[in-house]
Amino acid sequence: MRFAVPVLILASCCAACGDDTSTNPSPTTASRATERFDDIINVRESRFSAFSVGSNGTTSINLVSLTPLNRPGVLVATMEIGWGKTVKDEAGTVIGCTLSRVMQTTPALTAQLSDTLPPASDYCANIADVGGLRESANFSIRITHP
Amino acid sequence: MSAKTWLLIALVATACGDGNTSTTPSPTPTATGESWSSVLAPGGQSTRSFTVNASGTIAVTLTNADTTLGVGVGVPRVTGGGCRLGVSVNASAGSSPQISAPADAGQYCVQVYDLGTLRDPVGFALKIDHP
């Protein structure tokens, strides 16, 4: 009995230590998809590609690459990129892209255009030459969305 | 109770921490350094892919080459291999990065290419630092 009190106090202290069960961070990041839009663009032309947004969140468009067709290196030319809604003909075939937002930019490894778009299946990403292109070029656009 | 017993109780009691002060998760992307060496043929190009796990800076250093070469960073081609460059420079070997570019997380590639000056194959080495 001589050690009963201190042992009881020690046990109480140890039992009070720690509260590990509620400290784990809970992942809340929604899954995101990255699509590639690679093609060739000619002088004074434009190209578009359709994409879908599955849930609310930020959609980013990144003109990541603009290169000559038949030699290594990059082209430094200002291009117009943007997003909008697809235009369909009576048969439901996508025939165009009505732009909602555009900007002029040069290629970079970070997204140039970011907007919060509601879920829909009729978005399009667009690239156009606005006078900076002197020759046909390969381009790569990354579209990242929820 | 003896003094030693009370001292022991005090030590155990003070060991109980305030769990709330250390519960904030701190994402700390790990910096990665990759070394790559290969041989470049006249008129050729050589490509290596890598993954950037978080937004940050991609730094490429051509550490060894006997001549000036083209060095670029871009995204891997969807089909057929190779690299779609976003940035490129004409680089001579050195100890400081010839390319330093902010980048989003994702798949990337580095490409070394002949600027049209090679008459024989040349060896090169470079280092890629990224998040």
Q: Give residue-wise pLDDT tens across range A118-132.
A: 999 999 999 999 999
Over residues A47-68, mean pLDDT: 97
pLDDT the model gives residue A28: 53
Q: How confident is the model at residue B79 (pLDDT cuts 50, 70, 90)?
A: confident
ipTM over 0.90: no
Please list every residue in chain B whose beta carbon sits closer than 8 Å to the beta carbon of residue A111.
Answer: 104
Instruction: List, as ranges, residues 23-62 from A with C-beta within 8 Å of B.
Output: 23, 25, 34, 36, 38, 60, 62
Please list every residue in chain B whose beta carbon sits closer than 8 Å to the beta carbon of residue A74.
Answer: 72, 74, 85-88
Please list every residue in chain B whose beta carbon sits closer than 8 Å to the beta carbon of residue A16.
Answer: 16
Asked if residue B99 lies in contact with residue B24, where contact means CB atoms within 8 angstroms, the answer is: no
Q: Is B58 on the interface with A (CB under 8 A)?
A: yes
pLDDT the model gives residue A17: 45
The 10 Å Cβ neighbour count of residue A69 is 10
Provide the 3-class DSSP secondary structure of residue A8.
Answer: helix
What distance in Å separates the CA atoms of residue B6 and residue B129, rounded to the nearest whole number?
55
Q: Is A98 on the interface with B (CB under 8 A)?
A: no
Share of chain B above pLDDT 90, in %: 73
Asked if residue A48 lies in contact with residue A124, where contact means CB atoms within 8 angstroms, the answer is: yes
What distance in Å separates the CA atoms of residue A30 and residue A56, rounded to the nearest whole number?
9
Which pTM does this prediction carry?
A: 0.79
* Out of A19, A23, A65, closest to residue B84 by CB: A65
Q: Where does chain A show beta strands of DSSP type E?
A: 33-41, 46-53, 57-68, 79-88, 94-105, 113-117, 120-129, 137-145
One-letter amino acid at A58 equals: T
A1 has a pLDDT exceeding 80: no
A71 has a pLDDT exceeding 60: yes
**Selected residue with higher pLDDT from B122 and A20:** B122
Beta bridge partners of B47: B111
User: Which chain A residue lies closest to B79 (C-alpha atoms)?
Assistant: A38
What distance in Å separates the CA atoms of residue B118 and residue B68, rounded to the nearest whole number?
9
Q: Is A11 on the interface with B (CB under 8 A)?
A: no
The 10s digit of each residue's pLDDT in B80-93 is: 888 999 999 999 99
Q: Is A107 on the interface with B (CB under 8 A)?
A: yes
Over residues B102-126, mean pLDDT: 97
What distance in Å separates the CA atoms of residue A79 and residue B85, rounded to the nearest whole number?
16
